[in-house]
Amino acid sequence: MAILQLTHASILNSNAQLLVLPVNNAGVILDPVLTRAKTLFPDNYHHYHSVCRDGSLSVGSCLLYKRTREQSGLGISSNGNQPSYIANLAVSNHPYHPARSRWLIAALIDLQQKLIPLIRYQGIRRVALLARPLISDNPRDPISNKNGSINSLPLDWQTDTLPLLTTYLQDLPKLRIDIHMPKSIDL
């Protein structure tokens, strides 16, 4: 059974072995924390961006990236605190479109399937998940498309996102998952 814990601590200071970053499949990063992660982990960003550009990252999937260790420069001193893996969860098709339930469910199922071998064979025990891109500013404002029909509603943290995360991640064995929340959300 995985232990899920909500925290206000910065995900970028986490000592997790795997970071889970919700992204879009357009390759455009607008979230300030994701922008900082792009700077801190340029190898992951270049891989993510190239996969988005060639069209092989679909919404509702997980792009798992194994980081290479830096061998020189200033970054070498902080290698011990950097994640070995980064999971890019494609939960949206555009940076201005919020995550949808069906996309998040598909991405979490894909993440779950990719985590099992990492837990079993690579000894992954600590995971950090960035929750801010999964929280909509206007959770119950319907999104309408060109014909005027209403698409599914953006996710609400308490009624949609948190239960989905719990449902799809709690059964992973021997894992601690820190869910990094914005300070505007009460724990």
Can you give the pLDDT at residue 86?
Answer: 97
CA distance 106 to 109: 5
Interacting residues of 62 by C-beta distance below 8 A, sequence separation 6+? 87, 88, 89, 90, 107, 110, 111, 114
**Beta bridge pairs of residue 178:** 5, 128
CA distance 81 to 142: 41
DSSP line for 2-44:
PEEEEE-S-GGG---SEEEEEEETT----SHHHHHHHHH-HHH
Can you give the pLDDT at residue 72?
Answer: 47
CATH number assigned to the domain with residue range 2-67+82-137+152-180, chosen from the 4 options 1.10.10.10, 3.20.20.80, 3.40.220.10, 1.10.3720.10: 3.40.220.10
pTM score, two decimals? 0.86
C-alpha torsion angle, residues 160, 161, 165, 167 (rounded to 10): 0
Can you give the pLDDT at residue 143?
Answer: 47
What tokens does 69 get?
Answer: 């260790």
What tokens does 133 get?
Answer: 């891109």
Q: Where are the domains of the chain?
A: 2-67+82-137+152-180
For the chain, 187 residues long, give each residue's pLDDT as a single digit of tens: 999 999 999 999 999 999 999 999 999 999 999 999 999 999 999 999 999 999 999 999 999 999 987 554 555 444 457 899 999 999 999 988 888 999 999 999 999 999 999 999 999 999 999 999 998 765 444 544 444 444 456 788 888 999 999 999 999 999 999 999 999 888 8
Can you give the pLDDT at residue 77?
Answer: 43
CA distance 81 to 46: 21
**Beta bridge pairs of residue 5:** 178
Can you give the pLDDT at residue 68?
Answer: 84
- CB distance 115 to 172 below 8 Å: yes
Can you give the pLDDT at residue 148?
Answer: 44
Angle between the 32-40 and 42-53 helix axes, to the nearest 10 degrees? 110
Can you give the pLDDT at residue 63?
Answer: 97
Amino acid identity for residue 3 in this structure: I
